[in-house]
């Protein structure tokens, strides 16, 4: 894979992959209206039973070709993200499609668009952050509340809260299967080529820890219909993305 733009090293907008991620999540699982969700999920993906996820997270990410940036350019390794995902399928394959992902960095935006995520720049993303040495907060405990929100333009595009009730395990989180995307780059002039291909994001090295589960609430202007919360969770996750594979 070439750097993007076609310049080498730290002056490139995107380093060569694979790309590695570690994230802290505040997430709410909910059911939306299937008819409304169909307007958000492009063909050939089919909306499932209406199950969705909304989350806000803080991410540390490095590429294989730029691990030293964690010291030399920490601004190129840290960003925040907020998203809504919809359970769907491609043939017999089950997965999740994200109609929108808001992010706080240009390089994450461009990396996502190349791989098939529908990323947009947020004006601000914020979430609850604890510290083990803060005397006024202490560690995570039953009854503790977490929150997060994403601001885009004059309003909040996404807002969620989670009240944790018990410590959990990775198996307590809703499992969607594959992560789907759409690489769509239309022509702007007749001599150009175009790209319109459904893809599966190639994830590996997935790990989840520090899971707490409880109740959740979410508000979004994304047009998901009536929101019926299922559960909430806070957790940590790590994974690698090596690109995306075209689905046939």
Question: Tens digit of pLDDT for each residue in 93-151?
Answer: 999 999 999 999 999 999 999 999 999 999 999 999 999 899 999 899 999 999 999 99
Q: pTM of the prediction?
A: 0.94
pLDDT for the residue 132:
87
pLDDT for the residue 10:
67
**Which residues in the chain come in under a pLDDT of 70?**
1-11
Residue of 168, 236, 181 whose CA lies nearest to 27: 236
- All structural domains of the chain with their residue ranges: 13-129+168-237
When the candidates are 2.40.400.10, 3.90.180.10, 3.30.930.10, 2.60.40.1930, the CATH number that belongs to 13-129+168-237 is: 2.40.400.10
Give the DSSP H/E element, type plus range, for residue 82: strand 78-90
CB-based contacts of 210, cutoff 8 Å, min separation 6 = 140, 234, 235, 236
Q: Give CA separation, 109 vs 15, 38, 96, 141, in Å.
A: 13, 24, 19, 35
pLDDT for the residue 12:
75
């Amino acid at each position: 894979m070439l750097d993007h733009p076609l310049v080498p090293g730290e002056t490139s907008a995107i380093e060569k992959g694979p790309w590695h991620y570690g994230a802290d999540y505040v997430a709410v699982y909910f059911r939306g209206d299937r008819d409304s969700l169909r307007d958000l999920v492009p063909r050939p993906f089919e909306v499932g039973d209406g199950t969705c996820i909304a989350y806000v997270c803080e991410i540390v990410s490095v590429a294989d070709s730029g691990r030293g940036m964690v010291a030399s350019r920490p601004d190129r390794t840290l960003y925040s993200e907020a998203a809504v995902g919809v359970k769907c399928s491609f043939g017999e394959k089950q997965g999740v499609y994200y109609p929108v992902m808001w992010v706080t960095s240009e390089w994450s935006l461009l990396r996502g668009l190349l791989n098939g995520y529908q990323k947009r720049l947020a004006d601000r993303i914020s979430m609850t952050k604890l510290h083990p040495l803060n005397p006024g907060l202490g560690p995570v405990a039953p009854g503790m509340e977490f929150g997060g929100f994403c601001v885009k333009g004059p309003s909040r595009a996404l807002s969620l809260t989670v009240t944790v009730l018990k410590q959990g395990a990775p198996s307590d989180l809703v499992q969607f299967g594959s992560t789907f995307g759409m690489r769509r780059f239309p022509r702007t002039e007749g001599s150009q080529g175009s790209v319109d291909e459904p893809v599966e994001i190639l994830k590996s090295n997935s790990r989840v820890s520090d899971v707490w589960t409880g109740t959740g609430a979410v508000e979004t202007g994304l047009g998901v219909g009536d929101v019926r919360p299922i559960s909430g969770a806070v957790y940590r996750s790590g994974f690698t993305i090596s690109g995306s594979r075209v689905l046939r």
